[in-house]
Chains A and B, each alone.
Chain A
Amino acid sequence: MTPRALIRLRARNGRGRAATPLRERLIEIGLLACGALSVLVTAGILLVLAFETFSFFGRVSLAEFFGDTRWTPLFADKHVGIWPLVAGTLLTSAIAIAVALPFGLLAAIYLSELASPRARRILKPTLELLAGVPTIVYGTFALVFVTPLLQRVVPDLAGFNALSPGIVMGFMIMPMISSLAEDALYAVPGSLREASYALGSSKLPTIFRVVLPSATSGIAAAVTLAISRAIGETMVVTIAAGQQPNLTLDPRVPIETMTAYIVSISKGDTPTGTLEYQTIFAVGSMLFLMTFAMNAISHRMARRLRHGAGQA
């Protein structure tokens, strides 16, 4: 009997229909189509952005966009330098990651390695609730509760600032890191841990030298997702960070992020088709490029890490 016939025979003996090579191929194509959908989406976004962005750059030079340090496209005295918005985004995102990463990783370690199964069953979903609170609630919380609280501790903290939404964002995206990293840690086979203990290692070194490295790809994926989320977050920063484009690294003053700017113009009274309206798309394109560059780098890093740790 040919191998193909053998497979067909075996398949028929099991449940379900015959597993013909044609059917297999069709399934593969179907799955590929689903994967390729993401490419379509990217293409769609690029198209939507590109049209208006090209029009924008027909009226504004690249030198102005990248050279000016003020962003006042709506004022009578127009400046369209992108850097204040970029600085705002990077500042809030950096603060968010500085909070989410340590909390997320440590929480993941706790849930996976140290918690009792019962504690894990209760705490993990409770943490995931953090991700479910609507972003407008977080934004209002940051503005009305966290900022006044921080104002008592941090000198000269303005009513709108980057610190407060940054911290709240950090807690908001923390479950992303903790849940996904925890899944990765939890899936590391018990045999590896037991082998480590058998060799005389205690819990802590086991975690750091055996479990964490095995879960690197999962953790890296979680962190990448979280960083992307922080950069793209809209409502929290719109409500609590302010609407004053400001080229600064000081987390205590009002700033404006790229996303907040896009939202405020889209919902506002600007007529469509004008230069001011097109700035939405120019800023959107910039945002897209930034996340793209960041992800390409981290993708390369993650791949190297994976190969380095002996996993393919």
Chain B
Amino acid sequence: MRAPGPAQRRRRRTGERLFFLLCLASVLVPLAMLATLIGDVVLDGAGRLSWEFLRGTPSRRASAAGIWPALIGSLTLIGLTALLAVPVGVAAAVYLEEYGRRSRMAGIIEVNIANLAGVPSIIYGLLGLEVFVRLFGMGSTVVAGACTLALLVLPVVIMASREALRTAPDALREGAVALGATRWQAIRQVVLPLALPGILTGAILAVARALGETAPLIVVGAVVFITFTPDLGSQYTALPIQIFNWVSMPQKAFLDNAAAAIVVLLVVLLLLSSTAIFLRNKYQARL
């Protein structure tokens, strides 16, 4: 290969620079859109944010309405959802990647999962209603809602975890087994720690999705008006449901309430993401 001459190098450099700019723009444009959206919401909602709003309960009067049951409901929901979806999802991914790579069962499961990722959330709601609420007799409780949401985000967790597991080189697995470890020991002590960052990515995406869902929760029986904080066996509501309800109220003051609730929702999301990301950065290292 002959070394490129000065003219060629210059052309290549301009081409490269252009490409880098394009890549940078691809990051900045969506962020600009996000900033516009958040800025708009914050402008509308900031005035309404107060301790009373946070601790208040739904009301027909916009100025008296608050989001406490919704906030607790949302937090409980995503907590349970993560607790259900992440272990099961990682386990499924481990099976697919480590044990069943060429088996037919694994192939069926794989196609299944990709398919389930595209099923609209409201269908999960219908499924949850029939299975968790009615068949399992859970009623319209937080647990039923969390199970439904867990099913909804499971494909995301599985797919992200699979990719994470794939990034661990086979050499390390083989090395572990050569040292006398069983398959499971190799996975647990070598592969999983390496895959942790990717698994956390999947968990973050999953929790973010669960936090913003409205339609399946309504089908599964989440209510809109509730003035007590939910426990595991009671009815519940969630922030997106309150927001959706307020947005369609005729009194305009409710729009400010909705904007303030969105700000709270985004703050919750930010806090959760930051924690997970902090953990992810801690464990990620290029080989």
What residues make up the interface of A, taking CB atoms closer than 8 Å to B? Answer: 6-7, 10-11, 14, 16, 19, 23-24, 27-28, 30-32, 34-39, 41-42, 44-45, 48-49, 102-107, 109-111, 114, 121, 123-138, 140-141, 145, 171, 174-176, 178-180, 183-184, 186-187, 189-190, 199-200, 202-204, 217-218, 221-222, 224-225, 227-229, 231-235, 258-259, 262-263, 266-267, 280, 284, 287-288, 291-292, 294-296, 298-299
Contacts and interface: CB of A to CB of B under 8 A. Distances in A.
A132 B269 contact: yes
Contacts of A235: 214-215
B283 interface: no
Contacts of B120: 232-234, 258-259, 262, 284, 287
A30 B84 CA distance: 15
Interface string B95-113: 1100110000110111111
B118 A291 contact: yes
30 contacts: A10-B179, A14-B185, A24-B183, A24-B184, A31-B92, A31-B95, A34-B89, A38-B116, A42-B115, A45-B127, A103-B30, A105-B26, A106-B25, A110-B24, A127-B30, A129-B270, A131-B208, A132-B209, A132-B273, A133-B266, A135-B214, A184-B163, A189-B169, A190-B286, A202-B16, A204-B15, A234-B120, A263-B215, A266-B122, A288-B115
Contacts of A6: 180
Contacts of B159: 180, 221, 225
A178 B270 CA distance: 18
B144 interface: no
A16 to B, nearest CB: 8
B160 A126 contact: no
A117 to B, nearest CB: 9
B173 interface: no
B190 interface: no
A102 B240 contact: no
B118 to A, nearest CB: 3
A234 B122 contact: yes
Interface of B: 1, 3, 12, 15-16, 19-20, 22-27, 29-31, 33-34, 36-37, 40-41, 88-89, 91-92, 94-96, 99-100, 105-106, 108-127, 130-131, 151, 154-156, 158-160, 162-164, 166-167, 169, 179-185, 197-198, 201, 204-205, 208-209, 211-215, 218-219, 239-240, 243-244, 247, 262, 265-266, 269-270, 273-274, 277, 281, 284, 286-287
Given A39-B112, A130-B30, A136-B243, A32 B105 contact: yes
B88 A37 contact: yes
B281 A121 contact: yes
A138 to B, nearest CB: 8
A262 B122 contact: yes
A38 B269 contact: no
Nearest to B274: A125
Given A45-B119, A136-B243, A204-B15, 11 more contacts: A31-B92, A34-B91, A36-B105, A44-B131, A45-B127, A107-B30, A110-B23, A128-B204, A180-B160, A295-B114, A295-B118
A205 to B, nearest CB: 9
Contact of A39 (B89, B108, B201, B277): B108
A276 to B, nearest CB: 16
Given A103-B29, A295-B118, A35 B163 contact: no
Contacts of B180: 6-7, 10-11
A125 B184 contact: no
A78 to B, nearest CB: 23
Contact of A190 (B3, B115, B287): B287
Of B15, B30, B91, B160, most buried by chain A (CB within 10 Å of CB) is B30
A68 to B, nearest CB: 23
Nearest to A170: B30
Contacts of B284: 186
Contacts of A224: 114, 117
A24 B96 CA distance: 16
A105 B19 CA distance: 12
A183 B163 contact: yes
A228 B240 contact: no
